[in-house]
Amino acid sequence: VCNLALANIGDEAQVSAIDPPDGSVQAAHCARFYPICRDALLEMHTWRFAVFREDLALLSATPPYGWAYAYGLPNDCLVPMAVLAPGDESNSSLDWLIGQDTAQLTLLKGHPDNNQQRFVVESQSDGSLVLYTNIENAILVFIKRVTDTSKYGPLFVLALARLLSSKLAGPVIKGDEGTRIAREQMELFLKSEYPAAVGRNKTG
């Protein structure tokens, strides 16, 4: 992904590792921007490979008024999408979630067509996140931080590389030229690679 991103901006360097970086300037920049670009792209859309469901772990914390249960979020949960009650976890109508841009999801109110339950996620004083709901033994459908690139489809890889290119252009090329290329790369991401990846995801 990093080498594709560098090639997009005309850099012929071949990065061999970013965690830790292989010592090259390009690897250092990729190590800085790759994780945030990956997570940002995962958060933008309900990608099939990144949608998981998991039983929630009940917390001892007392929920605020209006909520009966407090749960911790799963590891690597990026976007909580839906809360289900036991027995609803096989509900096929959750297919409506796949292919949605996450900006369109309503996280507080359950969707009326598929047994989703109301919930809210709030931050605690220690920085941790807690999910409140009125469902006992709740199940969460969520977007997971998937770091294994072998799970990514080709169009997702191209979109991620293009988004990364838009962040690398400034530090690698610098000056007005770097700013211009960064803007061009972002436009290509928004108009070409991202819509193509989204379209493929919606059709399965």
Flag whether pLDDT at 107 surpasses 50: no
- pTM here? 0.88
Nearest to 30 by CA among 11, 45, 49, 43: 11
Band of residue 201 on the pLDDT scale cut at 50, 70, 90: confident
Q: What is the rounded end-to-end Cα distance, in angstroms, of the chain? A: 22
Flag whether pLDDT at 65 surpasses 50: yes
For 169-191, what is the mean pLDDT? Answer: 96
Radius of gyration of the chain (CA): 20
Q: How many CA atoms lie within 13 A of 56 on its CB side?
A: 32
For 54-78, what is the mean pLDDT? Answer: 94
Rounded percentage of the chain residues whose pLDDT exceeds 90: 73
Nearest to 42 by CA among 150, 139, 132, 157: 157
Q: List, for residues 24-47, the tens digit of each pLDDT value.
A: 999 999 999 999 999 999 999 999
Spatial CB neighbours of 29, under 8 Å, sequence gap ≥ 6:
168, 171, 172
Structure tokens at 64: 């605020």
**Contact status, residue 70 vs residue 83, Cβ threshold 8 Å:** no
3-state secondary structure of 133: strand
Flag whether pLDDT at 108 surpasses 60: no
Structure tokens at 84: 């289900």
Q: What's the rounded Cα separation, in Å, for the pair 141 and 159? A: 24
**Contact status, residue 181 vs residue 189, Cβ threshold 8 Å:** no
Mean pLDDT score across all residues of the chain: 89
Task: Name which residue leads in pLDDT, 203 or 183.
Answer: 183
For 15-26, what is the mean pLDDT? Answer: 95
Report which listed range, 101-105, 110-114, 146-150, is most confident: 146-150
Amino acid type, 181: I
Band of residue 109 on the pLDDT scale cut at 50, 70, 90: very low
Nearest to 142 by CA among 55, 77, 70, 69: 77
Band of residue 116 on the pLDDT scale cut at 50, 70, 90: low
Identify the pLDDT of residue 154.
Answer: 96
Identify the pLDDT of residue 112.
Answer: 47
Q: List, for residues 123-138, the tens digit of each pLDDT value.
A: 988 888 999 999 999 9
